[in-house]
Chain A
């Protein structure tokens, strides 16, 4: 009797704490989201209010959409993300398979080379990489934002970790039935590794979607800007003007990521926990 009483009080306190903490964490996002529905008079009203008068005022969104090509920014991010993803999958699956099953001579050393590459921070390579892009004439193209990230050591490592749990005997048995290495990879290994490939896909896409410094450096026209660059430029260009419009622009760019996250939360969390995410 007394115990259950204590438990109830404790649960209640826990709820209060969780509610207070989660409101604090959500506050910045909600302030922006609600602000995007406020009319100019509400935005500048004092004292400021969290909630807008109504959620039906969409003037900020149409104004933001007119001032900057957000559709184009999001499309660019999508193009870069999808092609990076496809390239990473193709290249990392092949490499991981070579390391886990085929093991050509010296594979161990090549593997170590890749793994040591994981320790080279991108800031160290950024200057010569940019000069390379200049020489190849790839500045301000989608390719410049895709190609440098295709050989992704973390991806090779993740897939290798799974592939090597598939016994080599299985491949030898398959070979006796006339199944060559390529067919073994496509019709046996890849289907088995679907969860790992899924996690790698999410990781690769999110990293690409979030990437900032590199696209900022290698693009210089509006038509090539990705979403993060687009929103930063939009804020710079509209600084000091109508804040409701700025918030609406930010919501347009951020909302897709949040929606996708809420829908696929479980897979998302698993994938991101399996390999640290970078911005």
Chain B
């Protein structure tokens, strides 16, 4: 009698746990087909040369990677991506932090200002590009007019090889403002107020308080945002496609854009797959760095 109840329970538990696979099945199947399989397939493709319509493939070993290594264009893309990510993050984060400091008060109407700064969050990278196209227009745009008023001659932002990359950087910084400010504000609001009070009693001025208290206290936030901003800038595609289409003369041909062009415009599938793996390895290194240095210090939200 006792035994049979135990068996009954065991059977139920077995059945119950087995039912878990049923709940997992759809996610697992889709995940394997659309993430795991393509990730592995890309690696195989990167060792092949494939005809434009995909009907013939030749195994060529590391040829695609060697071609990448030798390609002047690809070196250019690497360099441009580096410059792009570096300046986007190095200028974007301090600007966001500065705005967050101004927003971190209980002034009347502060929620209106917050909405204004969060707004770029509602706008996708493509739309951000579209919005800026008009302001940057050399003939009717307001920006070049304002520059002329203060005595500068504004360039052809999107078509001047020297200015295309700074333009894309500027738009990306603008687009990332919303997200950066939200996270910075959350970080700033977690700094205990009594720290500032104690520092005031000791006679510290605002600048000292900022350097000695604010910066150390929000350092996990800064690290988190640095990594996210690096990854997001690295993966930029939409705004670049709208603003410059990788041009002029490859001036904004970042790694992701180069991959897109080789895969879907030039139909060099194997060559593009090799590029995909270069991107993968770079992002993997950044992510590993993130895990190593951030640990559990960063609180999301």
- Return chain B residues, CB-CB under 8 Å to A213: 237-238, 260
- Return chain B residues, CB-CB under 8 Å to A268: 121-122
- Return chain B residues, CB-CB under 8 Å to A28: 131-132, 134-135, 174
The answer to the question of B99 belonging to the interface, with a C-beta cut-off of 8 Å to chain A, is yes
Task: Given the known inter-chain contacts A120-B39, A276-B179, A278-B235, please indicate yes or no for A129 contacting B121, CB distance below 8 A.
Answer: no
In contact, B139 and A44 (Cβ under 8 angstroms): yes
In contact, B34 and A254 (Cβ under 8 angstroms): no
In the assembled complex, the CB of A42 is this many whole angstroms from the nearest CB of chain B, namely 10
Once the chains are docked, how many angstroms separate the CA of A151 from the CA of B33?
Answer: 10
- Return chain A residues, CB-CB under 8 Å to B279: 121, 123-124
**A104 closest partner in B (C-beta):** B20
| Dominant secondary structure at the A interface | helix
In contact, A235 and B34 (Cβ under 8 angstroms): no
Once the chains are docked, how many angstroms separate the CA of A32 from the CA of B177?
Answer: 19
- Return chain B residues, CB-CB under 8 Å to A124: 38-39, 42, 276-277, 279-280
**B206 closest partner in A (C-beta):** A10
| Dominant secondary structure at the B interface | helix
In contact, A153 and B116 (Cβ under 8 angstroms): no
Task: Given the known inter-chain contacts A26-B119, A91-B30, please indicate yes or no for A272 contacting B134, CB distance below 8 A.
Answer: no
In contact, A127 and B27 (Cβ under 8 angstroms): no
In contact, B41 and A128 (Cβ under 8 angstroms): yes
In the assembled complex, the CB of A193 is this many whole angstroms from the nearest CB of chain B, namely 15
Once the chains are docked, how many angstroms separate the CA of A205 from the CA of B232?
Answer: 19
- Return chain B residues, CB-CB under 8 Å to A130: 263-264
In contact, A279 and B238 (Cβ under 8 angstroms): yes
Once the chains are docked, how many angstroms separate the CA of A119 from the CA of B283?
Answer: 8
In contact, B145 and A48 (Cβ under 8 angstroms): yes
Task: Given the known inter-chain contacts A18-B103, A277-B179, please indicate yes or no for A265 contacting B276, CB distance below 8 A.
Answer: no
In contact, A212 and B124 (Cβ under 8 angstroms): yes
In the assembled complex, the CB of A22 is this many whole angstroms from the nearest CB of chain B, namely 4
Task: Given the known inter-chain contacts A129-B34, A254-B130, please indicate yes or no for A50 contacting B272, CB distance below 8 A.
Answer: no
In contact, B272 and A127 (Cβ under 8 angstroms): yes
Once the chains are docked, how many angstroms separate the CA of A31 from the CA of B21?
Answer: 54
- Return chain B residues, CB-CB under 8 Å to A261: 118-119, 121-122
The residue in A14, A127, A131, A260 that gathers the most chain B C-beta atoms within 10 A of its C-beta is: A127
In contact, A276 and B232 (Cβ under 8 angstroms): yes
Once the chains are docked, how many angstroms separate the CA of A270 from the CA of B182?
Answer: 9
- Return chain A residues, CB-CB under 8 Å to B276: 123-127
Task: Given the known inter-chain contacts A31-B142, A117-B36, A279-B124, please indicate yes or no for A235 contacting B118, CB distance below 8 A.
Answer: no
- Interface segment among B11-19, B68-76, B188-196: the answer is B11-19
The answer to the question of B186 belonging to the interface, with a C-beta cut-off of 8 Å to chain A, is yes
In contact, A102 and B20 (Cβ under 8 angstroms): yes
Once the chains are docked, how many angstroms separate the CA of A129 from the CA of B284?
Answer: 20
The answer to the question of B5 belonging to the interface, with a C-beta cut-off of 8 Å to chain A, is no
In contact, A257 and B122 (Cβ under 8 angstroms): yes
CB proximity to A under 8 Å, residues B194-221: none
Provide the A112-149 mask, 1 if CB < 8 A to any CB of B, else 0.
Answer: 01100101110111111111101000000000000111
- Return chain A residues, CB-CB under 8 Å to B256: 123
The answer to the question of A95 belonging to the interface, with a C-beta cut-off of 8 Å to chain B, is yes
In contact, A21 and B102 (Cβ under 8 angstroms): yes
The answer to the question of B126 belonging to the interface, with a C-beta cut-off of 8 Å to chain A, is yes
In contact, B45 and A18 (Cβ under 8 angstroms): no
CB proximity to A under 8 Å, residues B271-295: 272-273, 276-277, 279-280, 283-284, 287
In contact, A269 and B182 (Cβ under 8 angstroms): yes
Once the chains are docked, how many angstroms separate the CA of A210 from the CA of B179?
Answer: 15
- Return chain A residues, CB-CB under 8 Å to B133: 235
A25 contacts which of B117, B228, B242 (Cβ < 8 Å)?
Answer: B117
CB proximity to B under 8 Å, residues A247-270: 247, 250, 253-254, 257-258, 260-262, 265, 268-270
In contact, B137 and A243 (Cβ under 8 angstroms): yes
CB proximity to B under 8 Å, residues A52-111: 90-92, 94-95, 97-99, 102-105, 107, 110
The answer to the question of B300 belonging to the interface, with a C-beta cut-off of 8 Å to chain A, is yes
- Return chain B residues, CB-CB under 8 Å to A228: 124, 126-127, 238
The answer to the question of A217 belonging to the interface, with a C-beta cut-off of 8 Å to chain B, is yes
In the assembled complex, the CB of A34 is this many whole angstroms from the nearest CB of chain B, namely 10
Q: Which positions in B face A, CB cutoff 8 Å? A: 16-21, 23-24, 26-31, 33-39, 41-42, 45, 54, 99, 102-103, 105, 107, 110, 113, 115-127, 130-135, 137, 139-142, 145, 174, 177, 179, 182-183, 186, 228, 232, 235-239, 241-242, 256, 259-260, 263-264, 269, 272-273, 276-277, 279-280, 283-284, 287, 300-301
Q: Which positions in A face B, CB cutoff 8 Å? A: 11, 14-15, 17-18, 21-22, 25-29, 31-32, 35, 43-44, 46-48, 50, 90-92, 94-95, 97-99, 102-105, 107, 110, 113-114, 117, 119-121, 123-132, 134, 147-151, 153, 156, 181, 209-210, 212-213, 216-217, 228, 231-232, 235, 243, 246-247, 250, 253-254, 257-258, 260-262, 265, 268-270, 272-274, 276-279
Q: Which 5 A-B pairs have the closest CB atoms?
A: A104-B20, A261-B122, A210-B124, A102-B20, A125-B38
- Show 8 A/B contacts (Cβ-Cβ < 8 Å), sorted by A: A17-B102, A28-B134, A125-B34, A128-B38, A151-B28, A254-B130, A261-B122, A270-B301
